[in-house]
Structure 1
Amino acid sequence: LFYLSNIKPKKSPPKALQMSAQFSLFLFWVLFCFVFRRHLEKKYDKACEFCKKHKTRIHMYTLVSVTAYLAVVIAACSLNFQRALPLFIITVLAIFFICWDFLIAKYEDRIAAFFCPGERCLEKQWFWLKWVLYAALIIAIICWLIFDTAKQGSRQLISFGGLVLYVLLMFIFSKYPNRVAWRPVFSGIGMQFILGLLILRTEVGFAVFNWLGVQIQTFLEYSDTGAKFVFGEKYMNHFFAFKVLPIVVFFSTVMSMLYHIGFMQWLIGKVGWIMEIFMGTTPVESLVAAGNIFVGQTESPLLVRPYLPYVTRSELHAVMTAGFSTIAGSVLGAYISFGVSASHLLTASVMSAPASLATSKLFWPETEKPRLTLRGGLQMAKGESKNLLEAASQGASTSILLVANIVVNLISFLALLAFLDSALSWVGNLFDYPQLNFENICAYVFMPFSFMMGVDWEDSFIVGGLLGYKTFFNEFVAYERLSKLIHNRKKGGSMYIDGVKQYMTVSNIFYSTD
């Protein structure tokens, strides 16, 4: 008894007594587990019997609950539709996808059989039909360029020429240029074009993404409550440490909770399925590319972790390319807090997912036979947390490493950048050019690339410098520089002299519009 109660006796009990106590405790634990397991089995059987017995009543309660919810939605919309518009949209989307999943799960074979004759006919006529489609596509592109140039100006031709130039460069430096499959390349560029057209050129698309951006900004501001409690009322005095980094922690927590309940897997599966159908990419690379829209480069491959040992080199290259091309959800909030438009960041991340697959398949074409081609047999990995609170705690704990990486990288890279700028300025001073620094060098190197991307000529020098920071240093450094430019332009301060717009780098080198 002394041994089991952890009370230190005056005299140590004999070794045999200790062993017998340990053995008795082990037997008690085995008996407890056996009884508890039997108890759970009985409870589970009773629950199953209860559900079977009251199946009709449960269905009736579910129907009543759904009807009550719909009544609440209708009442809210009738009182003030503008105020209840988000609830209405969420409800409509939920009903649509529930019906979609139900039909696919129950009638997938019938749907496939219904479209099977059309698929066979398309395969038979594909030899001549593809040339008709190619000709129609070329005519459509020419007509678009003519009408859009007449309306928007010659800048659109520069962007189109830049797109052709980038595709040509990637084709020249491709691993296997004679093995390129052009369907995913053209499909990825086409999906990017359609997304950009819907989001940036239509009022509805622009309003939707602008509304999403505002909602994300509002949602991220809730992290201020925790930051204020931990760091005090004057936490804004240390903007980056106490304002930006808590957003990373908060967003990581929320994403972990959504991943636990299965919402992220469901959403990523839908987006990945769309890309797989339209682009002809494999399930693994499609899911990872879709996942990178919402999660980071480290987390998205974990969605298909059991299948990673079986991917081909081309699929692995696509996984890595997709990770580098999009913005991780955990740091998206940090970039928004810098002052960068949330709708622009969200648009860029969504459009980059299909473009990353197109780039990857052009740079490293598929030369092997993928083992995983059946979409129905691919299951995404689930979270390891046992409940929602544990998922939230794990998400917050996981962000510690991310926050630490951000902090140490910024300290080291900014210090290294200051030293490099000082050394370059000293070298430039020898030739009466003390303005020489790393940003100027990158600006001159990347200025043609930024101009071919569609940036105005007067802004291409600035964007070239930012591209250099992002390429050679750290994207956080580039966004920190970009935030300064955004704030200066909003204030209308040193960016304007006598009402004339000025163009400058962060190092205060001015370039007048004259």
Structure 2
Amino acid sequence: MELNAIEKESQKEGEDNKAFVAEVQEQDQIYIDIERASEGDNAQKKTNQHKKSLLEKKIEAFQGYFAEHRDQIHLIIHLGLGAGFAAMVIAACVLNFRQASVLLVISLVTIFFLVWDWMMERYGDRVWVELHPIRDLFNRNCFRIRWILHVLLLGAVVCWLVLDTAQRGKRQLMSFSGLLILVFLMMLFSKHPFRKFMSFADIGSEFVFGASYTDHFFVFKVMPILVFLSSVISILYHFGFMSWLICKIGFIMMVTMGTSPAESMAAAGNIFLGQSEAVLLILPYINGLTRSEIHAVMTGGFASVAGTILGAYISLGVEPTHLLTASVLSAPASLAIAKTFWPETETQSVKASCDFKLGKGECSNALEAMSQGATCAVKVVANIVVNIISILSLVAFLDTVLSWLGAMFGCPQLSFTLICSYVFMPLSFMMGVSWEDSFIVAELIGIKAFLNEFMAYQKLSKLIKRRKAGGPEYVNDVKQYISIHSETIATYALCGFSNLGALGSLVGVMSTMAPDRRSDITSCGLRALIAGSVSCFMTACIAGVLYIPELQCPDFLSTEFNNTSVNISTQLVTCCTQLYNSVTLYEPLNVTIKGGFSWSNLQGCCTLTPPTHFNCSMVL
């Protein structure tokens, strides 16, 4: 109480602090000015609000409504677009189901993955927890379950071979034997015991090089396809579609084959991209890869070709269906062979797919992506052209030297390709190629292994064109072309970047990306090259087992009726029925036969399986 009284007395008798009073008055003035300014701003806003037109008010109201209901509006737009696309697919299937079947399959696969992503995002953790008892049961009996599955699979394959493949001929059995031999060799030496789409490129080629651009077919017809496809893939990568597709394919291989996310994504990327581009997909993870994973990544690069290069092969005349199938099959085949040739013995750094991310392109818009893709293709085109020029020149020089040396020993026809034909002949025969064609296919394999797969496909395209031209099969005892079955096996065997030049390129690229792993990369290089080559040969064996060329009835009947004894088989009855359908009877002894059949074919069929809709005695 006394202190308070003294304080009050001192406040009454004391003097004011002038500096403090001035500061308080200044702050009061600031507060007053702020209030007046805010009142002025509000008045100005009200004035501007009155000055706005009715259209501006409506636009602001619409923007506010859109911002408030953004999610609902996006959902309605997506549902509308989806319903419109579904209606378009249904209408296309009703009008022409055969032509719309591809669009239908692509749509169903896309819908499946979109629904899968939506389900996993919301219920994935719950499903994983609920499946815990089943996972424990499988882990406890994993060894037994695997052995049971292996025995069942082996039994199914044996039954299939006995009931189906063995009836087709010896070539299919030889292809299957070759497949088993290749797998056995990999285990023995283990480290631890579309044409229409392409034609759009011709429009740009004709504009730049003139109407006579096909006079220089390789440079002005084949190479522009690389530029076109590179631009398309770059645009798809910019929009994220390519990354999405690679992730889905890689996820399927990771689940079904038990491989790590990094090597699975790299193998999936090799289906569409080149060796260097596929490695870029896993650039942040290269330093953490095990040696087995590095080996698998490199094997995938050697076992497949880039999607842009496929277009060039197709333009050469190689069957596009076989090329696309070989490119897709090479991805899982490369992983299987890589893990057989170099099993995993180390701890993997990235085990879950959720820890693995793929980004989109770095371009700001689609036009920049298109330009960047075309620019990147220029380097590829230049690399292919200059390599082919240098390789052809060196091979010509080497053949001249070998011929000179061979002439000393009475063999002037000695050449590099002749040596390759004898070295790789057992391999081509083991894959199911007929004996008379095995030397030619072996020559193609040698060109691909030591020189370049592009040159091998060029040689194959010449053989295909000769067969289609219908010329003589032998000229001076030299075979001019091979059978369709041999062409198919060769197409699969050549579909890969597994050559010595690609080995140096891939080792250099990966060593630049991960300098600390240079020694591991170089130690894996040669084994990965061998594994990539074997992957291509395995897909060729599978093609030899499964592929049956379309039956050429005129040739088949001529061959059958030239034999001393003819057996009535299913093929014979089918061809005779086709022959009867090609016969037009105007009157007795006045008939025409179409489809390439001959009178001797008709006589033989009438003798063995007489027709039901006309009498053979009226035409013979």
Determine which of 402, 405, 419 is the counterpart of 2:383.
405
Q: CA deviation at 1:429?
A: 1.8
Inter-CA distance 73–135: structure 2 relative to 1 (3 Å threshold): closer
Matched residues in 2 for 1:257 and 1:316: separation? 29
Structure-to-structure mapping, 1:302-313, within 5 angstroms: 302-313=280-291
Determine which of 437, 455, 475 is the counterpart of 1:477.
455
The residue type equivalent to 2:309 in the other structure is V
The residue type equivalent to 2:151 in the other structure is A
Inter-CA distance 64–150: structure 2 relative to 1 (3 Å threshold): closer
Structure-to-structure mapping, 1:97-496, within 5 angstroms: 97-177=113-193, 216-495=194-473
Q: CA deviation at 1:48?
A: 9.6
The residue type equivalent to 1:359 in the other structure is I
Tell me, yes or no, if the aligned pair for 1:318 and 1:361 is still in contact at 8 Å.
yes
Tell me, yes or no, if the aligned pair for 1:254 and 1:395 is still in contact at 8 Å.
yes
Tell me, yes or no, if the aligned pair for 1:321 and 1:356 is still in contact at 8 Å.
yes
Deviations 1:34-83 (A, max 9, x none): xxxxxxxxxxxx98983433543443343333333333333343344344
Q: Which runs of 5+ in 2 are unaligned?
A: 1-61, 483-558, 560-620
Matched residues in 2 for 1:424 and 1:48: separation? 83
Tell me, yes or no, if the aligned pair for 1:303 and 1:382 is still in contact at 8 Å.
no
Matched residues in 2 for 1:286 and 1:277: separation? 9
Matched residues in 1 for 2:103 and 2:184: separation? 46
Matched residues in 2 for 1:251 and 1:110: separation? 43
Q: Give the match for residue 186 of structure 1.
A: none
Tell me, yes or no, if the aligned pair for 1:260 and 1:383 is still in contact at 8 Å.
yes
TM-score (norm 2): 0.65
Matched residues in 2 for 1:80 and 1:330: separation? 30
Deviations 1:274-323 (A, max 9, x none): 11111111100011111111111111111111111111111111111100
Deviations 1:311-369 (A, max 9, x none): 11111111111001012112111111111000011111111111111111122222211
Matched residues in 2 for 1:331 and 1:48: separation? 51
The residue type equivalent to 2:176 in the other structure is F
How many residue pairs match? The answer is 422
Indicate the SS of the match to 1:434: coil
Deviations 1:113-164 (A, max 9, x none): 3332222111122243333223323322322222234322232332222222
Indicate the SS of the match to 1:299: helix
Deviates more, 1:74-83 or 1:436-445: 74-83
TM-score (norm 1): 0.77
Deviates more, 1:303-312 or 1:105-114: 105-114
Indicate the SS of the match to 2:97: coil
Determine which of 76, 82, 104 is the counterpart of 1:60.
76
Matched residues in 1 for 2:154 and 2:385: separation? 49
Tell me, yes or no, if the aligned pair for 2:304 and 2:330 is still in contact at 8 Å.
yes
Inter-CA distance 137–70: structure 2 relative to 1 (3 Å threshold): closer
The residue type equivalent to 1:314 in the other structure is S
Deviates more, 1:231-240 or 1:264-273: 264-273
Matched residues in 1 for 2:63 and 2:190: separation? 60
Deviations 1:206-249 (A, max 9, x none): xxxxxxxxxx2111110001111110110000000100110011
The residue type equivalent to 2:458 in the other structure is E
Deviations 1:418-467 (A, max 9, x none): 11111111122222222111111000000001111121221111110001
Matched residues in 2 for 1:319 and 1:56: separation? 44
The residue type equivalent to 1:307 in the other structure is Y
Matched residues in 2 for 1:358 and 1:163: separation? 13
The residue type equivalent to 2:424 in the other structure is F
Indicate the SS of the match to 1:221: helix
Tell me, yes or no, if the aligned pair for 2:466 and 2:480 is still in contact at 8 Å.
no
Indicate the SS of the match to 1:400: helix
The residue type equivalent to 1:144 in the other structure is W
Matched residues in 1 for 2:94 and 2:176: separation? 47
Q: Give the match for residue 94 of structure 1.
A: 110
Matched residues in 2 for 1:403 and 1:471: separation? 21
Does residue 1:50 correspond to 2:28, yes or no?
no
Inter-CA distance 47–442: structure 2 relative to 1 (3 Å threshold): farther
Matched residues in 1 for 2:169 and 2:288: separation? 49
Indicate the SS of the match to 2:447: helix
Inter-CA distance 54–358: structure 2 relative to 1 (3 Å threshold): closer
Taking only aligned residues, the RMSD between alpha carbons, in angstroms, comes to: 2.4
Deviations 1:388-447 (A, max 9, x none): 111111000111111111011000000011111111111222222221111110000000
Inter-CA distance 354–306: structure 2 relative to 1 (3 Å threshold): same
Deviations 1:3-29 (A, max 9, x none): xxxxxxxxxxxxxxxxxxxxxxxxxxx
Indicate the SS of the match to 1:383: coil
Q: CA deviation at 1:372?
A: 0.6
The residue type equivalent to 2:142 in the other structure is W
Inter-CA distance 411–57: structure 2 relative to 1 (3 Å threshold): closer
Q: CA deviation at 1:381?
A: 3.1
Inter-CA distance 54–442: structure 2 relative to 1 (3 Å threshold): closer
Deviations 1:177-214 (A, max 9, x none): 2xxxxxxxxxxxxxxxxxxxxxxxxxxxxxxxxxxxxx
Q: Which runs of 5+ in 1 are unaligned?
A: 1-45, 178-215, 506-512
Determine which of 71, 77, 100 is the counterpart of 2:87.
71
Inter-CA distance 487–399: structure 2 relative to 1 (3 Å threshold): same
Matched residues in 1 for 2:237 and 2:68: separation? 31
Q: CA deviation at 1:501?
A: 11
Matched residues in 2 for 1:153 and 1:105: separation? 51
The residue type equivalent to 1:389 in the other structure is L
Inter-CA distance 340–132: structure 2 relative to 1 (3 Å threshold): same
Tell me, yes or no, if the aligned pair for 1:248 and 1:331 is still in contact at 8 Å.
yes
The residue type equivalent to 1:474 in the other structure is N
The residue type equivalent to 1:104 in the other structure is M
Matched residues in 1 for 2:342 and 2:104: separation? 44
The residue type equivalent to 2:116 in the other structure is W
Deviations 1:473-503 (A, max 9, x none): 11111111111111111112142579x9945
Q: Give the match for residue 11 of structure 1.
A: none
Identity of aligned residues (%): 52
The residue type equivalent to 1:111 in the other structure is V
Indicate the SS of the match to 1:382: coil
Matched residues in 2 for 1:172 and 1:69: separation? 53
Matched residues in 2 for 1:479 and 1:283: separation? 33
Deviates more, 1:143-152 or 1:309-318: 143-152
